[in-house]
Structure 1
Amino acid sequence: MALGGAMVDALERGHTRVQGFRDPEMDHQLMRQLGSVRYGGASIGECLAAAARIRDADPVSWIEEFAEAGRRQSEDAALRARNGHAVSARDQYLVACNSYRAAEYYCPVDDPRHREYGLASRQAFMSAMQWDEASCVELWFSHQGLRLPAYHIRGARGPANRILMIVSGFDGTLEESYIAYGRPALERGYDLLLFTGPGQMDAWRFDAASHFAPDFEVVGRQATDYALAQSGMDPRRVALMGISFGGYFASRIAAHEPRIGALIANSPIVDLHAYMSSFVGFDPASLPESDDFGVADLEHIPEAEMNAQTRVMARNLMLRFGRPTFGQTYRRILDFKLSADGLAAIRCPSLALVGEGEGAEPLRQWRVFQDAVGGLCTPRLFTALEGADAHCQAGNLSYSAAVAMDWLDETVGAP
């Protein structure tokens, strides 16, 4: 190249650019994926490379990219496993597991690919655990005839005398719970019991007749029975964590289960109807019949009124609550509420976590929870300065885990 001439093949640091999406929901899902990097659920470069090929607010392109990433990563993991590279195989399987979860998230739940990607995520996770020093046992609980999957995971040091039970929310999975909070809990010497209930993603993978139910204490009682039946378990050291919508589930369990020694609600949801209505800006439960719509109506709603991403989310909401219309779904959600007496019945120590960027309604419910529970409550507000202001602190999971696990150590005692 001549001096002063046009540069050809100029030196660059790389072609990947740090750029998200204009659409707030899809950008949050990208942050959710990026946040999992800390505990081995993704790589920054692959996430950003996928994002560059995904069309803004277009679920189809998101699904295609992350499903393909999952396939590529699984094949790479299998090759490393065949060559005896245990650590590399484990790590790649865990990344593949989370890529498939990302594809599962945006897939309509009545699309066969939803189950395919969900089971692929589960299989990749089990393959990862085969190469891990921790031991993982598949379990099943039940609710009204439904079989509900769970995992019991123990660290390399063997059985502990304390256990953290974790339940996720509307779209979280057992495997994602492990990545986000299970791994940091294992590092600190806790056994893990990851469990799910009717309507949740893991249950839906096995039974499309599984719909959300407010009486989550039915499953919580079985999980607590199992935890306390473990050899050497100290009954004062049984802790419970609820993530996202799981903040309601875990609080509901703690209100009915006096054997819970400590509760972490991230974030506390005491009124799911008010919480969900805040997302759409009105109360769909009051929709007149003439304005209500069902799953079959979604394809006829103009793009200007409801984009493809919102249609998928509305479809999944109706199907997973088992109601034929949007309005009836929100009327069902009215049942998912903790009364003042229910909150007062939570007498174990509790930690209430919320991000300052989550919005007015989540912050209001965080304050209601800490004022109404019967036991000592420690509130924690995460900030944008900490990079943790998003829902469930997706942007800084390690700091969220530090806050949660340090509080838990101080509450139930060191191992």
Structure 2
Amino acid sequence: MGTLFKDALHERLGTWPLGYIPYGGPDYGEIEAVARAVGDGGDDSFHAAWTAAGARFAAEGEAALAKGHRASARELLLRAACCHGKSFHPLYGLPLDPRLVASYRLQIALFERALALCDDPVLPLRIPFEATAMPGYLVPAAGRATEVRPLLICTNGYDGQITDLYFASAVAASRRGYHCLIFDGPGQGRMLIEQGMPLRPEWEQVIGAVVDFSLALPQVDPSRIALNGWSLGGYLAPRAASGEHRLAACIADPGQADLADGFRAFAAKLGAGPEAAAASSLGDLDPALVDRMEAIIDNDRVLRWSVKQRGFWMNGVATMREYLREIERFSMQGRTGLIRCPTLFTLAEGDPLAAGTQAFFEQLRCPRQLVCFTREEGAEGHCEMLSRSLVNRRSLDWLDEVLGAA
């Protein structure tokens, strides 16, 4: 498939909804129309084009609802929520762009309006966590909302929104007969945008709070609670499973043991030498080398967005050295052997975040399975976004077998 968006960052961010087509996201032609509207424009044009599409879907949804077409209204409002959720990604970073906040809130309002129109209405949840509460939604098993069923908890990564979890994982799980709980943790969605709470590596604390909450839900089978993490969630989910032993299964898409590995390789290429880069803290690298690293990042639009706009903001840091120190905390060193539950790792051809997945998989001492995805299947790239139905089918088949949930 050729590119849809002319700008590399827009192509990366704007094509994610292609993976949502089987689950109620915008159709291919609708995404293509947004790309045409962006054209040669910059981030302002990207935001405006997605916002216009979202507004159109919302207006059509309200018109359908006024005529009594609840199913059409729900579909259109979900499309609208997806569009507004995509619109603000290039605007990431501090100080917060008012358009980001407004689009985030509109995304959630439309999402909740759509979920309220489901045959089994989905209501927002507040999951107690430390001195606050994490927002979430329990998407019930299709046609089995009141039955006691297995629960799949889905956890996001760096820049995903709660609507992404819905389209990418929750709809498929619901259709398969799982209740599915999606939520924002620290550094994600509302917790970051509205409360300013950054990411943390100790995800076992986060999932522990989610499991505590889930066990109080009458329709959840307490012996069959599984966790699925995608993107950065491919680190967060195994980290959680290493400390939260009430989980019956864990899925990591892709499995990641150490977020700093890529930067260690980067430092080695810039002259630190592989031994020095591996042995010393990245935060203690020679200032001249850190400056060179930062200059390369500044001159690459995608890297600058990934590290300095997204990474600094979500990790609660202001400098490159602080960022390097912070990401080193996201490591499974000394914890891999603590994972007890059956665990599935994905490994997609061409996904740079899966570079260490095979080695991480081989360190596991729990029941384990590695599922690879290839270009021939159309499933290469990060989180298999062009073949989400394929990764959902294989991972849920595995989960059916592990939990006896078929």
* Interval containing the TM-score (normalised by the shorter chain): 0.7 to 0.9
Distance 2:52 2:91 in 1: 14
Amino acid at match of 1:322: G
* Length, aligned pairs only: 388
Distance 2:263 2:73 in 1: 40
Question: 1:367 pairs with 333, 358, 362, which one?
Answer: 358
Match of 2:274 in 1: none
Amino acid at match of 2:138: H
Amino acid at match of 1:244: S
Distance 2:85 2:246 in 1: 33
Match of 1:402 in 2: 393
Match of 2:104 in 1: 118
Match of 2:273 in 1: none
Larger radius of gyration: 1
1:31 deviates by 2.9
Amino acid at match of 1:192: C
Match of 2:338 in 1: 345
Match of 1:78 in 2: 62
Match of 2:31 in 1: 47
Structure 1 window deviating more from structure 2 (210-219 vs 136-145): it is 136-145
Distance 2:41 2:170 in 1: 31
Match of 2:237 in 1: 250
Residue 223 of structure 1 pairs with residue 210 of structure 2: yes
Question: 1:101 pairs with 82, 85, 91, which one?
Answer: 85
Match of 1:335 in 2: 329
Structure 1, unpaired ranges of 5+: 1-16
For residues 240-292 of structure 1, give each alpha carbon's deviation from its aligned partner in whole angstroms, at most 9, with x where no partner exists: 00011011111111000111001010011110111466689768745654676
1:400 deviates by 0.9
Asked if the contact 1:119/1:205 (under 8 Å) is kept, the reply is no
SS in 1 for 2:260: helix
1:145 deviates by 2.9
1:107 deviates by 1.5
1:176 deviates by 1.0
Amino acid at match of 2:30: E
Change over 3 Å in CA distance of 1:289–1:44 after alignment to 2:
same
Asked if the contact 1:146/1:210 (under 8 Å) is kept, the reply is no
Distance 1:97 1:221 in 2: 29
SS in 1 for 2:122: strand
Change over 3 Å in CA distance of 1:309–1:191 after alignment to 2:
same
Cα RMSD over matched residues? 2.6
For residues 188-212 of structure 1, give each alpha carbon's deviation from its aligned partner in whole angstroms, at most 9, with x where no partner exists: 11111112211112322321x2111
Change over 3 Å in CA distance of 1:232–1:52 after alignment to 2:
closer
Asked if the contact 1:58/1:309 (under 8 Å) is kept, the reply is no
Asked if the contact 1:143/1:198 (under 8 Å) is kept, the reply is no
Distance 1:40 1:316 in 2: 27
Structure-1-length-normalised TM-score:
0.86
Asked if the contact 1:141/1:147 (under 8 Å) is kept, the reply is yes
Amino acid at match of 2:257: V
SS in 2 for 1:354: strand
Give the alignment of 1:11-410 within 5 angstroms.
Answer: 19-21=3-5, 23-55=7-39, 58-109=42-93, 110-155=96-141, 156-159=143-146, 160-207=148-195, 209-231=196-218, 233-275=220-262, 285=283, 288-289=286-287, 306=299, 310-313=303-306, 314-339=308-333, 341-359=334-352, 362-410=353-401
Structure 1 window deviating more from structure 2 (23-32 vs 388-397): it is 23-32
For residues 269-316 of structure 1, give each alpha carbon's deviation from its aligned partner in whole angstroms, at most 9, with x where no partner exists: 1101114666897687456546768xxxx9xx89x9525555444223
Amino acid at match of 2:391: S
Distance 2:298 2:404 in 1: 53
1:165 deviates by 0.4
Amino acid at match of 1:184: A
Structure-2-length-normalised TM-score:
0.88
Residue 412 of structure 1 pairs with residue 406 of structure 2: no
For residues 323-360 of structure 1, give each alpha carbon's deviation from its aligned partner in whole angstroms, at most 9, with x where no partner exists: 11122112111001012x3111111111101211113x
Structure 2, unpaired ranges of 5+: 271-276
SS in 2 for 1:237: strand
1:236 deviates by 2.6
Asked if the contact 1:214/1:336 (under 8 Å) is kept, the reply is yes
Greater share of helix:
2
